[in-house]
Structure 1
């Protein structure tokens, strides 16, 4: 956030002159606008779909203030950099580390145990200001990206700023040395030009990379520092223009007011019109970033017709003063509130969160932020760095303790799961839905326990082939092949599709052991095996998915396995349509793939897509179970809501080929009208869509005869 709170910088009098220190009320007003956008967006996303641009406003303000400071007191030797970074430590770390520590403790006591590890992992990364890179890596992981947000995820923007603060002063120091070495420093005009060229080159390169990466990999582009430096740097360029002048910049007050209104209008317009589908940051960020830079550059006064008058109002100034702490506190409260209220946030919950955020922010500003900025607190460099490192170590240690507690619970859950698997209970898992067995309803602690269920995934998720991830993924969708079962077997089964094919690997492994089959997988993350362009974030990604479909279809046809098993989940619309209107194009795309194999006389089994709790109102079954204990009904749903239409089944029927069969095991997952999160004492899903490995294995006795019949006898 715009965390350089000592806003006494050049141009404080609205003229652009290097005036005596004072407070620019328009900067505090911009902070108030920025934090209000972010908080409203996080509380009620539908009311302010582009409120995320508040972060970009903060970036520009931070770049402006930091560069103003560096240019008015230019660093000339390494000690100046150490002093600058020490001020950043005293300004930023006490409040941020306090919030991280409190959040970790609160997570331990109120959050579902299934959310502990991601919170601990991100808190440790946030304490060292690297969490944006962790989130960037997770954003391209289909399953990780679908996980519930952690209460410290918002620290990504602080990480970007801290990394900017680490590198930008070094750049200013180097440019200053070039100025001295080339004797440019004696001319303010030449000095300004040199700084504008040096800083501007970094801004231009970062902007170009931001445009490129946003088009190629928008999920990653949102978090990485390299796509955001230009936003802070643009604020720095405005500062350089104002500070490094040989005469005051005096704008007509009316012109400055109009320009400031245009800048604020640009910010507000994007807040209301941008959405989560807007490619960002890229060139689209120019609107809020440029608007902020314009307001900072013209430094409009407080005349009656000027926005500066509104920005100078006491409520705006107060909110701007505490904006850093507001940003720190609001998100943990939003994420953890449902764990306390026992459900979804409502209007009353949101009101309580706002009040609590403002109270905590005001207290933190007074008793933490201000305390570490007073002369009475030691300014010795060694002590500052030592205490900063100690604070980081405390947070990292607290995160580690949370993980240790979690792993102890997981180990206990594994032992319980092992005992359950050895019991040979006919009512275990899917067997409980066989009517003739008259199994009692599930009660007591399920297996795997929710803490372990979220990890109970098929071996295709990075644990097979020496840790090889068997899923092809963005951005390129390469062809990835894994082998399970008996590698020397004479008969081969090809498992093809996206993650809803991968969830069947545990069942196929068990069947392969019984039948002495080799199982070869061709799996993708999200990309369904249909010959149709699916709507990804970019055209390049859509093309990569379609290329994967063509390569895998041809490869399976060329390798002639003894049986092809296909399963897919449709989670993306086709290009040019919404998801509701995509059924027919998908059916045609599946038909093209299946017909190509049928023409090769390959036996094919299409597994009907499984019910998905996330299609109802249960985003994560383990999270829900961890929150509601033995109240399994709270995590159940209507089969009509959970069971998706499957165009691949319709495609198989349209082909009407004896070599293409459809197998539907959903009656072994759900009852006639209701789907439960626990069946036969087993947790059915490891998230909001995919079967746990344990439940998938319990389906193998029902899948095996279907596959054996489809494969037919040995030739």
Structure 2
């Protein structure tokens, strides 16, 4: 998913926000309502509001503004002041968030397929300890992890960013005031020092955001340091305008000292900037980087204007009771909406329909109202803050409970995997003639019940080739050329396996053959990168160029030390540069041909394996589907015409018309009579929505043997 908003600290409409002039700012509550509406509508109808994820940036600005105004009004002078500040954040944020995490973990256990327990358990634990944004940043650059089903708690990433901000920002403010004291600047005289210091932090974060979004946009999205500038922008505004900062007097409003009409125009301009971003931006927009400046600037304009609640001002509409109520409960709306969106389809066993979405919307508002009244407000009363150790003790206890739930969920997943491992070992050693791919040769093989398939869905997720455990992959930005050796290491016959993950999935079959035919396997594998001269669309041009460089290095290595046989396979997962995916077939074919031509001319023997079916085109993750349909495994099957892709690498190989350049199509080991089963001979075929399990791939080895030996000229 691309962007969810976490809601900052806020007060009820009956109380002033911390650090403000003592009056209720209806525009801030209204701005919260707008921001949470953007996020909610984006998640329910992503194709209708493609840039609704910018609500996160609006919330970040509000958080930075209010928290900085509070800190500047009463700068922390020591450890106790910091502890008091943090204790308020604990009381304000943890009770509701931990409640939602606990409920989500329990609902996942009850309704989600077993295959999702491990990932959700990890993220619940990370969310409870406020580092889930870093976990998601790591997963976002992991090709296989990126294919995981959406977690019902991944929206906590932005709350983690804010908590990390709340931890560090008060220390920065305290240090700046200490520095001002050293240079003998106190009261209003401290203002230039503080503003300059905060400005340095904001500038550094913005620079890092622009750079990292350019070179690694996937991880940049969740990175704390690429987001600090957005909160800091609100903080700088607070330093410039807050009435109580630096000992200034409280005035009629906190906005710029401009006429009401000008402030009204500025406020409308701010909302217009946010609206443009919400409508124009898409998941393809590089973000955060420079593009985040538009919604950030919009939020800053609204806060700076502090438009009057009269005339044509937007605050007149935002000040109405329903909008103010939505702004007041926006934190709980944010917490509840995403778990419902993810879990409801698992309960109903179908994608969300219009009525489902409306019911989720209604349920979110009801749960948010109840949580606000009975959880948020209850723990914000003074008695929960005294003595100072109390909120910390309760916070640690609550986090411990949620972490324990996550560990229990993870332990259940681990136990399921261990049970599946034992079951798999028994089946592999049984000598069953109907086991795996061999079942497609017979009509007397009885269907295997869902509870007896191997590897069991929970175990299938990790049933990958040894190339993963050995770290044999080159990843973005493709700066090197990793190789690994398998099979009979001292054999005089070498088979080179080249390609991306759809080549690496053939390693188990080649290992079976290597043991029998006594040859050595050398792998040249790169995640998502193909052995081609065609540049394809990556997140950055540098990554695309890096992929081309990897292909050139592999080609040269094979020319310098030719193998006895070059085995290739690849999935074309990315469009050719400048073309739509569906229009890229010919460009891919040309790129493969140009890669192979020098090798074929040099006499290198080539065997290209046709790409395997692609279940993600209709079903998604096969283990997830099977776990949810153990009583009807055929629900996870697909049609060959939908799953079997065209293969330009095969076309390129066949274009040479030489005996040294051969191809083999083993689609008949994956599909039969127009149907591609998810389970064949009692074996789960795929460990996600694309890649073949190591167990099933090994059963295909006998059917690859003839083509391999022919290509070797044995």
**Whole-Å separation in 1 of the counterparts to 2:402 and 2:388:** 22
Please, which of 513, 516, 525 is the counterpart of residue 527 of structure 2?
525
Shift of 1:261: 0.4
| Match in the other structure for 2:328 | 321
Please, which of 305, 308, 314 is the counterpart of residue 307 of structure 1?
314
Please, which of 551, 561, 565 is the counterpart of residue 563 of structure 2?
561
Instruction: Give unmatched runs, 5+ long, in structure 1.
Output: none
Deviations 1:488-526 (A, max 9, x none): 111111000000001111111111111111111011111
Deviations 1:625-667 (A, max 9, x none): 1111221121111110001111111111222122110110011
Please, which of 493, 498, 501 is the counterpart of residue 499 of structure 1?
501
Shift of 1:2: 3.2
Kept in 2, the 8 Å contact 1:9–1:21? The answer is no
| Match in the other structure for 1:390 | 397
Kept in 2, the 8 Å contact 1:9–1:68? The answer is no
Give the total of aligned pairs. 700
Please, which of 277, 288, 291 is the counterpart of residue 270 of structure 1?
277
**Whole-Å separation in 2 of the counterparts to 1:319 and 1:132:** 26
**Whole-Å separation in 2 of the counterparts to 1:656 and 1:234:** 63
| Match in the other structure for 1:618 | 619
**Whole-Å separation in 2 of the counterparts to 1:514 and 1:663:** 20
**Whole-Å separation in 1 of the counterparts to 2:339 and 2:44:** 12
| Match in the other structure for 1:225 | 224
What is the DSSP-based 3-state SS (H/G/I as helix, E as strand, rest coil) of the residue aligned with 1:564? strand
| Match in the other structure for 2:446 | 440
The answer to whether residue 548 in structure 2 is matched with residue 546 in structure 1 is: yes
| Match in the other structure for 1:159 | 160
Kept in 2, the 8 Å contact 1:434–1:668? The answer is no
Instruction: Give unmatched runs, 5+ long, in structure 2.
Output: 1-5
**Whole-Å separation in 2 of the counterparts to 1:12 and 1:166:** 20
**Whole-Å separation in 2 of the counterparts to 1:442 and 1:415:** 17
Residues 283 and 378 of structure 1: is their aligned pair in 2 closer, same or farther, counting only changes over 3 Å? closer
| Match in the other structure for 1:595 | 597
Shift of 1:672: 2.8
Bigger drift between 645-654 and 683-692 goes to 645-654
Please, which of 11, 17, 22 is the counterpart of residue 6 of structure 1?
11
**Whole-Å separation in 1 of the counterparts to 2:362 and 2:636:** 31
What is the DSSP-based 3-state SS (H/G/I as helix, E as strand, rest coil) of the residue aligned with 2:608? strand
Shift of 1:378: 4.1
The answer to whether residue 24 in structure 2 is matched with residue 27 in structure 1 is: no
**Whole-Å separation in 1 of the counterparts to 2:486 and 2:370:** 58
| Match in the other structure for 1:650 | 651
| Match in the other structure for 1:480 | 482
Kept in 1, the 8 Å contact 2:329–2:372? The answer is yes
Kept in 2, the 8 Å contact 1:499–1:523? The answer is yes
Kept in 2, the 8 Å contact 1:685–1:691? The answer is yes
| Match in the other structure for 2:192 | 193
Kept in 2, the 8 Å contact 1:10–1:242? The answer is no
Q: How does 1:181-580 map to 2 (within 5 A)?
A: 181-186=182-187, 188=188, 190-243=189-242, 244=245, 249-435=256-442, 438-444=444-450, 445-461=452-468, 463-464=469-470, 469-580=471-582
What is the DSSP-based 3-state SS (H/G/I as helix, E as strand, rest coil) of the residue aligned with 1:460? helix
The CA RMSD measured in Å over matched residues stands at 1.7
- TM-score (normalizing by structure 2): 0.96
What is the DSSP-based 3-state SS (H/G/I as helix, E as strand, rest coil) of the residue aligned with 1:447? coil
What is the DSSP-based 3-state SS (H/G/I as helix, E as strand, rest coil) of the residue aligned with 1:308? helix
What is the DSSP-based 3-state SS (H/G/I as helix, E as strand, rest coil) of the residue aligned with 2:154? coil
Deviations 1:10-36 (A, max 9, x none): 9989xxxx9751221111111111111
**Whole-Å separation in 2 of the counterparts to 1:128 and 1:12:** 27
**Whole-Å separation in 2 of the counterparts to 1:176 and 1:380:** 27
What is the DSSP-based 3-state SS (H/G/I as helix, E as strand, rest coil) of the residue aligned with 2:532? coil
**Whole-Å separation in 1 of the counterparts to 2:600 and 2:644:** 27
**Whole-Å separation in 2 of the counterparts to 1:438 and 1:22:** 80
Residues 583 and 675 of structure 1: is their aligned pair in 2 closer, same or farther, counting only changes over 3 Å? same
Shift of 1:427: 1.6
| Match in the other structure for 2:3 | none
Shift of 1:443: 3.8
